[in-house]
Amino acid sequence: MSAPKLMSAAEYGQVEAPQGDHRITYGDDPSQFGDLFLPTSNTKTARPVVVLIHGGCWRAQYGLEPMGKMARTIADQGVAVWSLEYRRLGNGGGWPHTFLDAAHGADLLRELAPKYNLDLDHVVVSGHSAGGHLALWSAARPLLSPDSPIYTPDPLKFKSVVAIAPVCDLERAVAWDICVDAADVLVGGHPREVWSNYYQGSPSALLPLGVRHITINGSHDDIVPLEYVTPFVETAQKLGDDASLIPVQDVGHFELVMPSHPAGKSVVETILAEIKA
């Protein structure tokens, strides 16, 4: 049997995707903004929200644009989507800025909720690849000590996390050469040099997260392999988290965030099911 044809990073980067209905800043840097996608249907009922965080190895050359298709697909199902941009490696990101951007960007929903009729009791955070790392970490923020440089008070709480091929363990990402050297650049050095940063910034080190989380991974993902994410989910389960792993056969890293692909459709369905649960 021949191997399945997988979508490449170059093909994913060329995806034409719709823009959000509103681009809203949460800071002074050009990368501190989010795109808000709203359902077209008018309703007096407050809308649930998905916080969507793009990947790209936390590097500046990869932005949120290709995630617009997934954002619009979810919004068309009656759910608001807050797609976050953030400072990345090469444009002011790294330790602690990338983490603080994810935090401040999510917390801005409190200000947006009254104007855009958002239901903050029903917020799911989802992210792809490096964005999956930030999604899991965002849900774990209440576990941080106030003296941490990436701590922010009163973090927005999420119903659950849908992590799509997430870089869930930064120390193992260095060992597995995931995203080449991006993980150690993100936190400011090798684990031997800045272990405390890994302890504060890696979802695996913060387990149990205390929030339901679902990890979805392609069986043929050679960027964030299924074998890499499996121990994270197994450890979370042993520590008492409501955690699950959904392996998707015959797909790689990018099909999962393409809603026109069957794998991407299943991811959207999982996110919507978490909103409705």
Determine what percent of the chain is predicted with pLDDT higher than 70: 99
Q: Which residues contact 94 (CB under 8 A, 6 or more apart)?
A: 87, 185, 186, 187, 188
User: Taking every pair of C-alpha atoms in the chain, what is the biggest distance, in angstroms?
Assistant: 55
Is residue 49 a contact partner of residue 79, using CB atoms and an 8 Å limit? Answer: yes
Is residue 169 a contact partner of residue 204, using CB atoms and an 8 Å limit? Answer: yes
- Where do we find the tokens 């890696």? 202
CB-based burial, 18-40: b 16+ in 10 Å, e otherwise: eebbeebebbebebbbbbbbbbe
Is residue 86 a contact partner of residue 29, using CB atoms and an 8 Å limit? Answer: no
The beta strands (E) that lie in the chain are given as 22-25, 33-37, 47-53, 80-84, 118-128, 160-164, 212-218, 243-248
**Could you give phi then psi for residue 55, rounded to 5 degrees?**
-105, -150
The CATH number of 9-276 is: 3.40.50.1820
Across 145-149, average pLDDT: 97
- Total number of residues shown for the chain: 277
The gap from C-alpha 237 to its chain's centroid, in whole angstroms, comes to 20
Mean pLDDT of the chain: 96
Measured distance CA(109)–CA(203) in Å, rounded: 22
pTM greater than 0.95: yes
The pLDDT assigned to 203 comes to: 98
**Distance of CA 223 to CAs 2, 5, 180, 200, 251, Å?**
20, 15, 10, 24, 12
The pLDDT assigned to 228 comes to: 98
Q: Positive or negative, the Cα torsion across 72, 242, 237, 204? A: positive
Is residue 192 over pLDDT 80?
yes
∠ CA 79-204-190, rounded to 5°: 120
Per-residue pLDDT of 5-51, as tens digits, reads: 899 999 998 888 899 999 999 999 999 999 999 998 777 789 999 99
Is residue 193 over pLDDT 90?
yes
Measured distance CA(88)–CA(39) in Å, rounded: 29
Domain ranges of the chain: 9-276
The gap from C-alpha 172 to its chain's centroid, in whole angstroms, comes to 18
- Token pair of 21, please? 């209905």
Is residue 190 a contact partner of residue 184, using CB atoms and an 8 Å limit? Answer: yes
Q: Is 170 helix (H, G, I), strand (E, B) or coil?
A: helix
Closest CA to 254 of 3, 2, 1, 5: 5
Per-residue pLDDT of 248-274, as tens digits, reads: 999 999 999 999 999 999 999 999 999
Q: Positive or negative, the Cα torsion across 246, 248, 253, 254? A: negative
**Could you give phi then psi for residue 115, rounded to 5 degrees?**
-70, -35
Determine what percent of the chain is predicted with pLDDT higher than 90: 94
Per-residue pLDDT of 206-261, as tens digits, reads: 999 999 999 999 999 999 999 999 999 999 999 999 999 999 999 999 999 999 99
The pLDDT assigned to 44 comes to: 79
